């Protein structure tokens, strides 16, 4: 079965504001104020909680790598408490998913978010059951760009990893697809959209309305 696997943050869902809010709550607890800006640091947020902590601590004195590790669980706890306040699906995402499913193409998710948080977010948005699989950062011992979680997300969706592609928004997604030997479709509407062309994916996607056609042309 042909399969399209989606990344989550920055690809299916615009999660930047809730992620930045969680990091800022941690920084405020440490007396540092709001070190990140939801608009300016959206691309940093798409690279995960540790990257947000590293970026914030780089702006002040006296907080090193150890503090990033110490605060990581706290960021995730804040995020867990307010995971879908501002987060929203990108326009046309679920219409594209429905169109793919109508063509008997399996759809699943492979994310570097912890699986439980990804599951909670998808349920809050009312779309968990639209995806046949969900593999997160901690589902397997390895995470993207290792190709294993991608392959697992394909097989759990009932698909064949040789007839699959990955829709993503980052160098990590590009690398994952390359390692798995499948085409990548990188979206240009996320916070790092302007950088996607340099990664030379098989497809650059500016609008979800164009996804079903793009997948057809890949001839999976």
Other beta carbons within 10 Å of 131: 21
d(C-alpha 86, C-alpha 207), whole Å? 21
Can 7 be counted among the known catalytic residues?
Answer: yes
Displacement of CA 128 from its chain's centroid (Å): 15
Q: Which one of Mg ion, ligand PGA, none is in contact with 41 (Cβ closer than 5 to 8 A by kind)? A: none
Q: Interacting stretch for ligand PGA, rule CB under 6 A, among 66-74, 108-116, 202-210, 212-220?
A: 108-116
3-class state of residue 30 by DSSP: coil
Site string for ligand PGA, 46-65 (x = CB under 6 A): x-x-----------------
18 near Mg ion, judged by CB under 5 A: no
CB of 42 to Mg ion, least distance (A): 11
Catalytic residue among 7, 9, 18, 41: 7
Q: Which one of Mg ion, ligand PGA, none is in contact with 112 (Cβ closer than 5 to 8 A by kind)? A: ligand PGA
d(C-alpha 196, C-alpha 111), whole Å? 18
Tell me the two tokens of residue 32. 């540092």
How many CA atoms does the CB half-sphere of 147 hold within 13 Å? 15
3-class state of residue 14 by DSSP: strand
8 near ligand PGA, judged by CB under 6 A: yes
Q: Which one of Mg ion, ligand PGA, none is in contact with 111 (Cβ closer than 5 to 8 A by kind)? A: ligand PGA
Asked whether 171 and 48 are in contact (CB, 8 A), the reply is no
CB of 8 to ligand PGA, least distance (A): 3
Tell me the two tokens of residue 94. 């679920």
Which of 3, 24, 87, 112 binds ligand PGA (CB under 6 A)? It is 112
Q: Which residues bind ligand PGA (CB under 6 A)?
A: 7-10, 46, 48, 111-113
């Amino acid at each position: 079965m042909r399969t399209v696997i989606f990344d989550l943050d920055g690809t299916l869902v615009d999660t930047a504001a809730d992620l930045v809010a969680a990091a800022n709550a941690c920084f405020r607890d440490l007396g540092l104020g709001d070190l990140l800006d939801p608009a300016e640091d959206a691309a940093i947020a798409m690279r995960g909680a540790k990257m947000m902590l590293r970026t914030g601590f780089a702006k002040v004195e006296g907080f090193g790598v150890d503090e990033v590790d110490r605060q990581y669980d706290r960021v995730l706890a804040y995020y867990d408490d307010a995971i879908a306040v501002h987060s929203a699906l990108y326009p046309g995402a679920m219409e594209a998913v429905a169109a793919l499913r109508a063509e008997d193409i399996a759809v699943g998710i492979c994310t570097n978010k912890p699986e439980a948080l990804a599951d909670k977010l998808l349920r809050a948005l009312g779309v968990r059951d639209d995806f046949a699989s969900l593999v997160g950062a901690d589902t397997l011992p390895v995470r993207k760009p290792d190709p294993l979680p991608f392959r697992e997300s394909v097989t759990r969706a009932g698909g064949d990893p040789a007839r699959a592609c990955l829709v993503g928004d980052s160098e990590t997604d590009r690398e994952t697809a390359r390692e798995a030997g499948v085409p990548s479709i990188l979206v240009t509407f996320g916070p790092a959209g302007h950088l996607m062309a340099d990664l030379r994916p098989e497809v650059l996607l500016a609008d979800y309305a164009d996804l079903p056609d793009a997948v057809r042309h890949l001839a999976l």
